[in-house]
Amino acid sequence: MGRITLEGVRKSFGKYAVIHDANLDIEDGSFVVFVGPSGCGKTTLLRLIAGLEDITAGRILIDGTNVVGVPPAKRGLSMVFQSYALYPHMSVRGNIGFGLKMAGLPRDEIKRRVEAAAATLNLTQYLDRRPRELSGGQRQRVAIGRAIVREPKAFLFDEPLSNLDAALRVRRR
Amino acid sequence: MARRVSTTHKLVTTVAAWIVGFVIFFPILWMMLASFKTELEAFAIPPSFLFFHWTTENYAAVQERSDYLHHAINSIVIAGGSTLIALLIAIPAAWSMAFAPTKRTRDVLLWMLSTKMMPPVGVLVPIYLLYRTFGLLDSRGGLIIVLCLGNLPIVVWMLFTYFKEIPRDILEAARMDGATVGRELIYVLTPMALPGIASTLLLNVILAWNEAFWTLNLSTSAAAPLTVFIASYSSPEGLFWAKLSAASTLAIAPILVLGWFSQRQLVRGLTFGAVK
C-alpha cells in the first residue's frame, strides 16, 4: 500500500525540458522530501505523481500499477497545496468531507470521519466556519484534514510550511 | 485599506457624491414628477418643482389604452428570453476560453468585442430585408434573436472574466478529492461562479429591456415591447409631455425595481473585471 515508483520520467513543456529521466523508488511508509532551488521542477514532479500534469515519457507506478493516463481522482492519493486551495463556498466540515462525498460514503460515516479528523487537528470548534473566517494555521489544518480523512495510499505536500510563521513552522516540522 | 481619513474629508466626499448622484438622477425624477402634472403644468415656464396640482389623470389616460400589459409582457419575454439564450451559448464558450485557452483565444475575444463597436444602423437594411424574407418582422422570436446576438459579446466577455477569477488549484483540489469533470462543474465551479453569472444575467436583462433601436425598427404591434409603447406617445399631433412621462415611468418601473433589489450584484458585475 503506497509504494510509488518513477521509471524514466520525462516532462517537457513544449521544447523546454523540465524533468530529465527521473528514477525513484519510494517504499510504503517512508517519508521523502524534495529540496532544490526554485524552478528546478519539484512542484512539477509532485504534480506528475498526482496526475495533474501529463507525463511526456516514462512510467509512474503506484503499488505496481502504471497510473500514466489515470485521472487524479482514481490514483488514490491526497495532495495539500501550497495555497491550501480550500473550497470557499463550503464550511470546514464540507471541505474536509468533500472527498468522502465524492467517494459515495454514507452520510453518517462521513460525519464520523470528519469529526474524528477535526478532533485530531483541534478544529472541532471551527467546523461550521468558512475558510475566509480562519487564520493561516487553521486553514492549513483544514487542508491537512481534507487530505487525511480519505485515507489515501500516499500524501503529497507542496511547500506546506511556506505560509506559516517561523515558530509554527518549527513546531510542525 | 486603513488610510486615516479625516471627518471633514469624509463629509465633503459624501456631500459631493450625493450631489453627483442627484444630478444624474434628476432627469428621471423630473419625468416622474411630470407624470403627476396636468398637461398644461407640464409645459409651464417657469416649471414648478413640487408645488403643483398633483393629479393621476395621465396614468388613467395611459391605462385607457389598455395595452400596457401587452407591451410589458413582450418586454419581459424578449429581455428574459434573449438573456437566457445568450447565457446558454456563452457559458460553454467562456468556459473553454478560460480553462482551455489556445493561441487563438485572445484574438477571438477581441474580434467578438469589436462587433459591438459597429453602429447597428449600418446593418439595419440588410437585417430588415432578411427578417422580411423569413417572416420574422414583428415577432417576439425575431427580436429575441437579434437582441441575443447583439448582447452575446458582452455576456461572453463578462463570463470569461469571472471564470478566470476562479483559482485553478481549487478545481485541481476537487480533482484530487475524486471529482469527475461533471461533479467538479456542479459542486465547485458553478457555486463559485454563481455571483458572476447572476451579475451578468442582471446586466443583460437591463440592456435588453432598454434596447430601443432594434425593437422600434423590427416590430409594430404584435411583438412590440415597452420601447414602442413610449415612442407611440410622440405623435404628429405634438408631444404630450405629461402623458409621455406617465408612460415612460410605467415603462421603466419594472426594471428600476429589479435594479434596486439587485444593486449590489450589479455594482459587483460592473467593477469586478476592473479590479484584477
The string of DSSP codes covering A89-136 is TS-HHHHHHHHHHHTT--HHHHHHHHHHHHHHTT-GGGTTS-GGGS-H
Whether omega for the bond prior to residue B46 falls within 30 degrees of 0, making it cis, is yes
**Which pairs with CB-CB distance under 8 Å and at least 24 residues apart come from B128-134?**
B128/B217, B128/B218, B131/B218
The arithmetic mean of pLDDT across residues B186-191, rounded, is: 84
Q: Where in A16-109 does DSSP place strands (E)?
A: 16-26, 57-62, 65-66, 77-80
Supply the DSSP symbol for A62. E
> Does residue B151 contact residue B81 with C-beta atoms inside 8 Å?
no
Residue type, position A6, single letter: L
A53 and A8 housed in the same domain: yes
- In this prediction, residue B2 has a pLDDT band, given cuts at 50, 70 and 90, of low
pLDDT of residue A172: 61
Helix (H, G, I), strand (E, B), or coil: what is residue B237? coil
Q: Does residue A70 share a domain with residue A21?
A: yes
Q: Which domains does chain B have, with CATH numbers?
A: 65-232 (1.10.3720.10)
Model confidence at B101, pLDDT cuts 50, 70, 90, reads confident
B178, A89: Cβ pair inside 8 Å?
A: no
Sheet of A57-62: strand order equals A16-26, A4-13, A57-62, A65-66
Judge if A18 and A69 occupy the same domain. Answer: yes
pLDDT of residue B78: 94
- % of chain B at pLDDT higher than 70: 93
Phi, psi of A71 (to 5 degrees): -65, 155
State how beta strands A4-13 and B234-235 pair: unpaired
Residue A12 is assigned to a structural domain of this protein: yes
Is the model more confident about A25 or about B230? A25
Q: Does the pLDDT value for residue B271 go beyond 70?
A: no
Angle of helix B140-165 versus helix B190-210 axis, rounded to 10: 140
Angle between helices A107-120 and A136-148 (to 10 degrees): 130
Whether residues A66 and A21 share a domain: the answer is: yes
- Please name the residue ranges forming H helices in chain B: 7-34, 39-43, 57-64, 68-99, 105-114, 124-134, 140-165, 168-176, 181-183, 190-210, 213-218, 226-231, 241-261, 263-275
CA distance linking residue B89 with residue B83, whole number of Å: 10
Asked whether residue A123 is assigned to any structural domain, the reply reads yes
Q: Give percent of chain B above pLDDT 90.
A: 26
Q: Three cell numbers at A68?
A: 500514466
Q: How far is A109 from chain B (nearest CA, A)?
A: 17
* pLDDT above 70 (res A106): yes
How many Å lie between the alpha carbon of B192 and the closest alpha carbon of chain A?
Answer: 7
Does the pLDDT of residue B244 top 90, yes or no? no
Tell me the pLDDT tens digit for each residue of A51-101: 888 888 899 999 888 888 888 888 889 999 888 889 988 999 999 999 999
Q: What is the pLDDT of residues B206-224, one digit of tens each?
A: 899 988 899 999 988 888 8
**Mutation site for B-interface testing, chosen from A49, A87, A101 by largest number of B Cβ within 10 Å:** A87
Query: Is position A19 within any domain?
Result: yes
> ipTM for the complex?
0.85
Looking at residue B184, what DSSP letter applies? I
B170 touches chain A (CB under 8 A): yes
Tell me: pLDDT of B274 over 60.
Answer: no
Which residue among B167, B175, B187 sits closest to A73, beta carbon to beta carbon?
Answer: B175
Nearest to B169 among A85, A102, A146 (CB): A85
pLDDT score at B270: 67
Flag whether A164 is in a domain.
no
Instruction: Based on the fold, state whether residues A51 and A113 are members of the same structural domain.
Output: no
pLDDT at position A69, please? 86
**Domain count along chain A:** 2
Q: What is the H or E stretch that residue B236 is in?
A: none
Measure CA of the first residue to CA of the last residue in chain A; give whole Å: 25
Sequence-ordered list of residues with C-beta below 8 angstroms from that of B33, at least 6 positions apart, any chain: B49, B50
- Given a contact cutoff of 8 angstroms between Cβ atoms, the answer to whether B36 and B53 are in contact is no
pLDDT grade for A171, boundaries at 50, 70 and 90? low
- Mean pLDDT of all residues belonging to chain B: 85
Cα–Cα distance measured from residue A84 to residue B106, given in angstroms and rounded to the nearest whole number:
30
Higher pLDDT, B254 or B126: B126
| CATH number of the structural domain spanning residue A56 | 3.40.50.300
Give the pLDDT confidence score for residue B4 in this predicted structure: 67
Torsion from C-alpha of A125, A128, A129, A131, nearest 10 degrees: 110
**3-state helix vs strand vs coil in chain A, percent to 5:** 35, 20, 40
Flag whether A153 is in a domain.
no
Mean pLDDT of B175-188: 84
Q: Considering the domain boundaries, does residue A23 fall inside one?
A: yes
B152-172: average pLDDT? 88
Q: Looking at per-residue confidence, does B259 or B27 come out higher?
A: B27
A69 and A15, same structural domain?
yes
pLDDT tens sequence across B47-83: 777 777 788 888 888 777 768 888 889 999 999 999 9
- Taking only Cα atoms into account, the Rg of chain B, rounded to an integer number of angstroms, comes to 23
* A52: in domain: yes
pLDDT at B129: 94
- pLDDT tens track for A24-40: 999 988 888 888 887 88
The string over B228-242, giving b where at least 16 C-beta atoms fall within 10 Å of a residue's C-beta and e elsewhere, is bbbeebeeeeeebbb
Q: Are residues A66 and A122 in the same domain?
A: no
Structural domain span for residue A70: 4-75
Q: How many CB pairs under 8 A join A and B?
A: 59
Q: Provide, rounded to the nearest whole percent, the portion of chain A with pLDDT above 70.
A: 92
Cβ distance A102 to B178 less than 8 Å, yes or no, reads yes
Q: Report if residue A154 sits inside a domain.
A: no
Per-residue confidence at B276, pLDDT binned at 50, 70, 90?
very low
Give the whole-angstrom CA distance, residue B52 versus residue B171.
Answer: 62
Mean pLDDT of A134-154: 89
Residues in A whose CB is inside 8 Å of some CB of B read: 50-52, 71-74, 77-79, 81, 83, 85-89, 98-99, 102-103, 146, 150
Q: How many CB atoms lie within 10 A of CB A29?
A: 9
Supply the pLDDT for residue B275: 45
**pLDDT given at position A160:** 72
Lowest mean pLDDT: which of A127-141, B24-38, B258-272?
Answer: B258-272
Interface test with A, best of B172, B177, B197 (most A CBs within 10 A): B177
